[in-house]
Each structure stands twice: as C-alpha cells, then as structure tokens.
Amino acid sequence: MGAALSSVIQSRANESILQADPRNSLLHSIYEPDRDLRHLHPRELKLYLEWYHMQDCTNTSPIAAPPYSEAEQSALELWRQQVNRRMMIRISSYNVSNFIPEGMSKVPQVSRPPIRSEHPVFQIPEMLDLILHFSGPQAQVRALQISAAWRTSAISVITNRRIQEAFLSPSTAPVIEYGQLIDDAAYVLPRPCTRQIEQFGLHVNRMISWRNKSYYPKYIYFPACMAQLSDLPSSTASSLNELDIGQRSIDYHDNTFSVSRDTDLFWLDFTQLQINPYFDLLFSEKGRLLQRLGRWEISLRPDATPGHLVIGNSPSDMLLVHAIGSMHITTPPCRCVGIYCYDADVSGACGGAPALLKRIRNNDGICVGELLDALEDCAPKLLAKWAENAEQLRNRVTENGHWIDDVWWMPGTPRFRLHLDNYDMSDEMLRIKDTTEPTRGRDAESVASTFLGLQFHITRTAYMSAEPPRATTEGEWLPEELFEPMKTETGRSNVDWEV
C-alpha cells in the first residue's frame, strides 16, 4: 500500500513538473511519444525535459509531427512540393545514366565559320605571346578556352620554362606536410597587415561568443595562415588557446592544456600554401572550387559524361591538363593530400567527420596530373554516395519534413573535400556496416580517429569536422524564400539564424 501511494505521489509530482511549462508535454509528444514519464524520479524527468528542449532549440527533426493549424498544413504541403521539385532537378542533373554517349547529340549542330573580331595585333603570334605572358594565368587560360586561334600561343606561354619551374622545382621550396614544424629559415610566409590581424581578432571573439551561445556547440576552425602567426595579440592567442583545448580530441590530447604560438608553429592547412593558379582555374572559372575552412572543395561536373566527371574532354581542357600536369598543386609543394567526401553513415556516427576516399603521397610534392587522376578515379564512388544520400534527404524532407528541421548537412553538389594530410596517416578505411551493433559506435569512432589523423595536432578534429553555417548549406539546395516561409504555430522553436 505504501509503495502504491508513493507511486501516486510521484506521478502527481511529475505531472506538476510537466504542466509547469506547456511546451514540456508538446516536446515529449514529438521527440519521445512512447516514453512514460510519470514514474521517473523527478531528477530524471528534469534531465529528459532539458534534453527535449535542447533538441527543440537545435531544430532537431521530431519523431512524431505535432498538430498543425490549417494554414500551416497548407503552407507545409506547398513547401514540400516546391522542395521536392527543386531537389529532383538537382539530383537528376548528376545522373550519369541520363547522359548522351559521346559522339551523339539531341539536335544536329550546324557548324558556322568563326567570326574574328579581335584587334589585328592579336593575330600576330609573337605579339600575342608577349601580351599573354604579362597578362597572367587567368588571361592565358581564358585565351586557351575561348579561341582556337589563340591556343598555340596560350600553351606556348603556359609551358614556358620559367612558369613551369615556378611550380615544379622542389629545390626552391622544400616539400611540407600536415603537422610539420614550420622552419622559418626555409620558408617566408606571406605576412598579413595589422588591419587584417585586428579584424581576425574580432572575428575570433565573435565566433567563440556564437559558439558559447549555441545549445549544441559546433566545431569552429580558423585558417592556419592567421591562427599560426607567432605574434598574435595576447588576447587573440588566449582565445584561440581556450578554443583549441575545448575542441581537442580527448583520446589524443586530453592532457594538453596550453598551446604555444611563440615557438611551435605548424603546417596545418591549405591557407598557408599558394595554390597553383592554373590548377585553380581548371575549376574556379566554372565555380567548381571553393577554398574555405582550410580545405579545398571540388565539385563534379553537372551533365558530365562517364569517364569525364572531373575534367571535361574539350580540346582546351585536355591541352591545359597536359600542359600543367607535371606542375605542383601548391607552393611550397605538399607531400600528402587526403581526398574525402560527405557520407551520411560516417558523418552521423563520427560527429560530422568526412569519409576518406583516397590519400595520395609523393615525396617530391603532389603534382596536378596525379591529383586529377586520383579525383577521376574516386569520382564514380563520390557520385554514387552523393546520389544515395541526396535521395535519402529528399525522401526525409518531402515525406514528413518541416522547414524548421535542421537536416541540410550535405552539400548540394557531389563534392570532394581535399585536406592537407601527413604521409604517415593511416589509410584504414572506415567500415561501420561491417561491425556488430553493440560495438559499432565505439569501433567507428576509434577507426575514424586513426584515419583522420587526430593525433597529429590539437586542431585536427576541428579541421576535419568544421562545417559552414546552416544558411550556407541549405542555400545550396533551396532559394532563400524557401528557408522559412512562415513562423510556425505548433509551439516548436523557430530557426535562430544568428547561431
């Protein structure tokens, strides 16, 4: 009788706690509708409620949809239709099975004689060579792409011995790799101005403040070209030190409580290196290369053909690739590059970490040709994985999704992520699906830590896991007018675009 009475009292106490905030019952009904909260100890109940509120504040997708008003239900159905249409168009544009075999076309093309409209001086090869030589890589590549008559001059300039040696000779700049100490005697790194350093300090404080306000803090990564300066203002260096400690990998850096930026400076990402401008122009002219968060992101070609997912097979593309193939991709040359991609299975298990596709090494420095070959080799796997993940996202959003839900984690195009890596990093692939259910999570985390090289530097975890804000990734899929068509009336938290 005493136990029954105690149970009744506890049940009433829990009901009182639930009723203290009307949203408690709502959040319970959408996040864990099958869990009976009545007989929990009050302290346990409060923990569960805190977890529900955190899920809500981070716009986590609910297990069961809350009741919608008639207006919101209509808006939601229209939103799903619009999102579904846009996502289907985007996904189908990368469907290789829809591509027409090379040599065939839907409509016969009528050849027309070229119309020469350039100034007569450009028709003199010697003058054109001289002009292109002083015009720089961008003008040279454009000349190669837009005019068959200019190709000879463009290739002649690009393959000039001086230009080739600038990105070829390892003797001018020793090869570097991730986690290697920077030798001040061997390298002279670009020096940002005082104004840039001040702006960087403000940016650091702003991002750390944003992270501290977040209910579920995300990884933040600052470019090494700034974060690895030896004479940062003490306040900025102190803030970075605190952030590095807070984001460190517990498995490898648990006993690290201070990071020195006075003596121990390292090669950590691509912002410390100069990208080969010709390699850059292979992709950036078409908007397919992003340089952000210390990494390079290279998208596959939309409406491409099998075997040419990375580089087209036009004469200008082939000529440029042949001309720059033996050049290094960076100055100074880098010894190891990791090729990664987004994978919903891996990222879900390892806190946002990418999946390793391939790691390429060269003691003399990675060259353009070998990197392009590796990308083309990995492209079919990247495309298949992206299409699978994209279809899962489309089904998730269009079947029971809401514009509030924070689900836009994957890129809107099949995209490689290139990271500066170390020659000694493990190539063991992450095989989550091969492990048994009880050990899957821990095994996946352990293997991921190994092949991601988290032990090589305290900032490596953030380097591999940092992502752009939600508005950026969602904007790759949807126009801004579909971000939040109306404020929800369900009681769920609206999107806080400031965090």
Q: pLDDT tens, position by position, for the chain (499 residues)?
A: 444 434 544 555 556 666 677 888 899 999 999 988 877 888 888 899 999 999 999 999 999 999 999 999 999 999 999 999 999 999 999 987 654 444 444 434 434 444 444 544 445 555 555 556 656 777 777 777 766 667 666 776 777 766 555 555 444 678 999 999 998 767 777 788 999 999 999 999 999 988 888 877 889 999 999 999 988 999 999 999 999 998 988 888 888 777 777 678 899 999 999 999 999 988 987 889 999 999 999 999 987 777 789 998 888 888 888 888 999 999 999 999 999 999 887 754 444 678 899 999 999 999 999 999 999 999 999 999 999 999 999 999 999 999 999 999 999 999 999 999 999 998 875 444 444 454 445 555 666 677 788 999 999 999 999 999 999 999 999 999 999 999 999 889 999 887 6
CA dihedral 230, 234, 240, 241 (to 10 degrees): 90
* Cα–Cα dist 499/484, whole Å: 16
Q: Which residues pair with 292 in a beta bridge?
A: 295
What pTM did the predictor assign?
0.84
Are the beta carbons of 368 and 454 closer than 8 angstroms?
A: no
pLDDT of residue 13: 55
* Cα–Cα dist 274/203, whole Å: 23
pLDDT of residue 14: 58
Give 442's contacts (C-beta < 8 A, 6+ positions apart): none
Mean pLDDT computed over every residue of the chain: 82
CA dihedral 415, 419, 422, 427 (to 10 degrees): -20
User: In the block, which residue shows the tokens 């600052």?
Assistant: 222
